[in-house]
């Protein structure tokens, strides 16, 4: 059993300036909304890249995140390292532990977002993880600092709709999108509750299990995405189990976004030398994103050509 590593106290490091602009003011179109609208006009899906903040160390993590948009990522999900995840498979669990051992804290994760945002005003950033580190930080302080850092949205996998008062509604009031997960077990009776306060996009989990556990069945996922879309006008992105350009392209033919995480953190791990960043760590992750982006961008054109040839 891995050692429990503290997630960090928000008072340890310098604060964020309260005068910094927020990512999305209430009532305004968010970066996430604008990005999906632009991609819709291009008639293609978004590539959403998940990486763990602070993995394998803070400096290399920032370099990786800065490389993602140029490599073809349309949105970025930053994992918030946590010692006791429940939806993450072994690869992402290991990435979180590497980050924590390298000294990553919630405040450093927000600093990473702020440093990225200083050089990129347009690429949406979503923080993904669990409520415990946010609760320890303090919800009001977290939302204030996340907005000041340029964060656009949150995915907090262990807060169901019944707990919206804890974080979802305050986040929406602070101008942050709150992105909810729908799963293969989310039936039509449950789906309206899941969608009630969701904004930005809906994250459809393609498999019943943890991240990286299995490859999704594209036909079944396509039917599920169509069912979700009957209940909402929000974009629907699909994640869990997308590992390469071919599987990303298969999902991109019918979904509004494709989320890739396990494959990217595995690319990071494979590049390490004695547990530390190697000379090709950033390149390894960026190269995989380039290949995934090529698959996503060509997916619908390929599907149309195939249909026309029949």
- Cα 150 from Cα 21, distance rounded (Å): 8
**Of the candidate ranges 74-83, 163-172, 215-224, the one whose mean pLDDT is the lowest:** 215-224
User: Where exactly are the structural domains of the chain?
Assistant: 31-308
Catalytic amino acids?
Answer: 77, 88
Q: Which of 76, 77, 74 is nearest to 37 (CA)?
A: 74
What percent of the chain stands above pLDDT 70? 84
CA–CA separation, 202 and 229 (whole Å): 9
Question: Residues 7-57: pLDDT tens digits?
Answer: 443 333 434 333 333 344 444 589 999 999 999 999 999 999 999 999 999
Q: Are 276 and 102 in contact (CB under 8 A)?
A: no
Evaluate whether 276 touches 56 at the Cβ level (below 8 Å).
yes
Residue 244 has pLDDT above 60, yes or no: yes
CATH 3.30.70.20 fits 31-308, yes or no: no
What backbone phi and psi angles, to 5 degrees, belong to 72?
125, 5
Which residues pair with residue 156 across a beta bridge?
129
pLDDT, one tens digit per residue, over 116-142 is 999 999 999 999 999 999 999 999 999
What is the rounded CA–CA span in Å between residue 33 and residue 234? Answer: 9
Give tens-digit pLDDT for 148-205: 999 999 999 999 999 999 999 999 999 999 999 999 989 999 999 999 999 999 999 9
**3-class secondary structure per residue, the chain:** CCCCCCCCCCCCCCCCCCCCCCCCCCCCCCHHHHHHHHHHHHCCCEEEEEEECCCCCHHHHHHHHHHHHHHCCCEEEEECCCCCCCCCCHHHHHHHHHHHHCCCCHHHHHHHHHHHHHHCCCCCEEEEECHHHHHHHCHHHHHHHHHHHCCCEEEECCCCHHHCCCCHHHHHHCCCEECCEECCCCCCCCHHHHHCCCCCCEEEECCCCCCCCCCCCHHHHHHHHHHHHCCCCCCEEEECCCCCHHHHHHHHCCCCEEEECHHHHHHHHHHCECCECCCCHHHHHHHHHHHHHHHHHHHHHHHHHHHHCC
Question: pTM of the entire structure?
Answer: 0.87
pLDDT at 105 over 90: yes
Least confident of 204-208, 267-271, 290-294, 300-304: 300-304
């Amino acid at each position: 059993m891995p050692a429990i590593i503290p997630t960090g106290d928000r008072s340890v490091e310098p604060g964020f300036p309260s005068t910094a602009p927020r990512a999305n003011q209430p009532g305004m179109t968010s970066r996430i909304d604008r990005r999906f609208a632009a991609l819709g006009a291009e008639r293609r899906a978004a590539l959403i890249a998940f990486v763990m903040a602070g993995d394998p160390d803070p400096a290399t993590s920032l370099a990786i995140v800065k490389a993602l948009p140029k490599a073809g990522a349309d949105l970025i999900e930053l994992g918030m390292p946590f010692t006791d995840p429940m939806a993450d498979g072994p690869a992402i669990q290991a990435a979180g532990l590497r980050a924590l051992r390298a000294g990553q804290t919630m405040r450093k994760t927000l600093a990473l977002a702020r440093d990225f945002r200083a050089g990129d005003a347009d690429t949406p950033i979503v923080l993904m993880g669990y409520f415990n580190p946010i609760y320890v930080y303090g919800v009001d302080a977290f939302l204030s600092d996340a907005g000041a850092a340029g964060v656009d949205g949150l995915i907090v996998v262990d807060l169901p709709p019944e707990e919206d008062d804890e974080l979802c509604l305050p986040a929406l009031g602070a101008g942050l999108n709150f992105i909810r997960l729908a799963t293969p077990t989310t039936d039509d009776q449950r789906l309206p509750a899941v969608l009630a306060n969701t904004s930005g996009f809906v994250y459809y989990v393609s498999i019943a299990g943890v991240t990286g556990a299995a490859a999704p069945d594209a036909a079944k996922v396509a039917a599920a995405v169509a069912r979700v879309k009957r209940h909402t006008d929000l974009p629907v992105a699909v994640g869990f189990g997308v590992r390469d350009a071919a599987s990303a392209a298969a999902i991109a033919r019918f979904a509004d976004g494709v989320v890739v995480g396990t494959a990217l953190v595995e690319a990071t791990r494979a590049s390490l030398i004695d547990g530390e960043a190697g000379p090709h760590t950033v390149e390894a992750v960026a190269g995989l994103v380039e290949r995934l982006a090529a698959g996503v961008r060509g997916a619908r054109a390929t599907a149309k050509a195939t249909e026309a040839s029949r």
